[in-house]
Structure 1
């Protein structure tokens, strides 16, 4: 049964983990690299990943012989590489000319939106909240994600070139710290 208090709690928890507002400089970077952001595609793939993980997460990881910590460390490494690109202004992940437009999938849908942090959080929330309330929280977050992705061109104009350069480096450092935290907490727990 839907419970507004649980939905609100789940929505806030996932919102802080996904941190779509903090990812705006990265989204703009992807938009510049790809030419555009495929907001619908990124949101739908993120939804599929999150909802699949809500119902099948443990089973999917077990199928591949993985644990949540290994999954989180893999996501942390991808986030680390992206953060280094943002801080240093270099490109480490080369574009595949045959995969133009895939930036809306990797690294945007995964691991930025539906990354290791969000997916492991969803698994953790199952122990505390009803599945229907978690699902509602996921949907509310995806609505916010979609709005931010659709607004990326407008956000870029508002922020401007110099503002973008500063934000890219600042949020690159924050993203790097998040990657280190995820890595540390899963490699050296406790």
Structure 2
């Protein structure tokens, strides 16, 4: 076991920024208004299972199609870069259809465990020990559950402008992470 507090915090912050559950509160509130009840427990557990499973089998999937982790990490840095640009500038580069139900499909995947999260997990695996990433995933899923359960209260306390400021701050952090991830892994390609 290589449990390292610094790695757990670093991986946890990266996942926190990528999952962006605070920035997703307006989407969650909108989903709740459209479909009524949101299954917070189910969505959190399924998202956690998807993330941990992808952490282990994602690398095997890459090997199967002939892609190394460094290449995937560099590609992931581009995805994180564009996610950060969306958060900072308040634009939408990727559009998804509006969901009809608010259970596993729109919440667990792709909102919580989406493409950015999957890419980040494999990129993190190139830098950190797996057990530290798993602890970071579990901590993030606990936080996601708390946010899903109390999204109405959080929206009332922060307001639209407060949520916007938080989203932009995490966008800048995510942008810095994308640059570091690119710089760390691009040399492994040559």
Both structures adopt the same fold (TM-score exceeding 0.5): yes
Aligned to 2:13: 16
Aligned residues: 181
How does 1:80-159 map onto structure 2 within 5 Å?
80-97=81-98, 103-104=106-107, 105-111=109-115, 114-122=117-125, 124-126=128-130, 138-159=137-158
Q: C-alpha separation between the residues in 2 aligned to 1:140 and 1:168?
A: 20
Bigger Cα displacement from structure 2, 171-180 vs 140-149: 140-149
Equivalent-residue separation in structure 2 for 1:33 and 1:135 (angstroms): 30
Which residue of structure 1 aligns with residue 51 of structure 2? 50
Counterpart secondary structure, 1:93: coil
Q: Distance in 2 between matches of 1:63 and 1:52?
A: 16
2:23 corresponds, among 2, 22, 26, to: 26
Give 1:76 deviation, angstroms. 2.8
Alpha-carbon distance, 1:62 to partner: 0.5
Say if 2:11 and 2:133, in contact at 8 Å, map to a contact too: no
Q: Distance in 2 between matches of 1:182 and 1:29?
A: 29
Give the corresponding residue for 1:64: 65
1:165 aligns with 2:169: no
CA contact (8 A) 1:26 1:168 kept: yes
Contact kept in structure 2, 1:75 and 1:111, CA below 8 Å: no
Task: List runs of 5+ in structure 1 lacking aligned partners.
Answer: none
**Structure 1 length normalisation: TM-score?**
0.68
* Contact in 2 for aligned 1:28/1:156 (Cα 8 Å): yes
Deviation (angstroms), 1:159: 1.0
Q: Is the 8 A contact 2:23 2:167 kept in 1?
A: yes
* Contact 2:74–2:185, Cα closer than 8 Å, also in 1: yes
CA contact 1:7–1:134 (8 Å) conserved in 2: no
2:129 and 2:115 mapped to 1: Cα distance? 19
Give the whole-Å Cα distance in 1 for the aligned partners of 2:98 and 2:129: 39
Offset at 1:121? Answer: 3.3
Q: Which ranges of structure 2 fall in alignment gaps of 5 or more residues?
A: none
TM-score by length of 2: 0.68
